Amino acid sequence: MIRRFLRLSVSIGLLGILAACGKAPEPAQPAAAAPPSAAKIITPPVAAESVAATPEEAPPAPASIEPRGPDCEAILAAKPAAIDIAGLYLGMTLNEALTHVRCRLPKSTIELHEDFLSGVSVNGEALGPQAFMAREGVSSPCHYNFYLGGGDKDCEPNGRQWFLDERVKVATPGLHGKETVTAIWRSQYYDDGERPSVNTVRAALREKYGAPQFESGSKNSDRLVMAWAMDTSGTALSKANPLLEACVQSGLNADAMRSQGWRAGCGLTIQARIDREPFNHDLVGVLHVAMIDQDKLFSLGRTMQERAETLAREQREAKLRKADASKVDL
């Protein structure tokens, strides 16, 4: 927890300096900068303070009224219906995926994104969230240093940077009410003293997904990449199949914050990227894992476009029928 200890130490030092000057710091306020217009922020609910009451004042609680919410224990204990990343799998509905992430990362901040697939025109059709991202950790305003030539490299457009424990991004493209999980990204950031070994992580990935068809990175490299790929029928691609290289090198990146690509003809594809600890290559600093159905995602944009055009045509025809049946007062 070195980075958290450093932030705490700096905060305590600043408090001491301000107190010595006779000026106490103002309470921290939420960031004024709004996120991109396509994102909606959902923060974890804050419990209201309870007010103590004497036994005479406290009314008896109705026995039949209990707080209702998702049964997170049952949701997290349920066996995934398909190959998964932390319980998330392709084919889940938007609500199923959101509920699962809220249960597993209850302290996370969730952003809902209204766009994911570029170049898709839905002719004014209202869309639900096309993707969402959950982040658990600490965020702070970015600090720019003129003498160092700019700002923090991890600074986001909203003027904040994150010190993450975990990040999950889920793509759920689809017309309203049909949003379905088609891609998943997860990144785990390990603190000093809690980092697993590279051998342990590799063994865990092999146990979960089987032997990878592709693996790159030596002991001296900063990163190790492992990949699993299937064709559109769900059959694992052999190393002799020329499609394997095309599917593995399609542009999919295990890090959700990097540019992404996919291609037709490739089915379920999983990629794991192990970022080694800089000063000890036997340990893992960050683990990124991604899962995507490339062919389905490739064709989904066209399917959404065609369906939106059909709905628009049906709406125009319904309006015309209504107009044809209307009476004209002359």
pLDDT score recorded for residue 24:
39
Over residues 112-146, the pLDDT tens digits come to 988 777 555 556 666 778 899 999 988 888 876 54
Higher-pLDDT residue of 15, 266: 266
Indicate whether 258 pLDDT > 70.
yes
- Phi, psi (degrees; rounded to nearest 5) at 59: -75, 150
The pLDDT of residue 142 is: 81
Contact between residue 132 and residue 113 where contact means Cβ atoms under 8 Å apart = yes
H helix and E strand count, the chain: 6, 11
Strands (E), the chain: 39-42, 84-85, 88-89, 109-113, 131-141, 160-171, 183-189, 214-216, 223-231, 266-277, 280-293
Q: What are the tens digits of pLDDT across the range 179-229?
A: 899 999 999 999 989 999 999 999 999 999 999 999 998 878 899 999 999
Cα torsion angle, 64, 66, 68, 70, sign: negative
- What pLDDT band is residue 290 in, cutting at 50, 70 and 90? very high
State the Cα–Cα distance between residues 270 and 290, nearest whole angstrom: 6
pLDDT over threshold 70, residue 328: yes
pTM exceeds 0.75, yes or no? no
Q: How far apart, in whole angstroms, are the C-alpha atoms of residue 154 and residue 177? A: 35
Q: How confident is the model at residue 166 (pLDDT cuts 50, 70, 90)?
A: very high
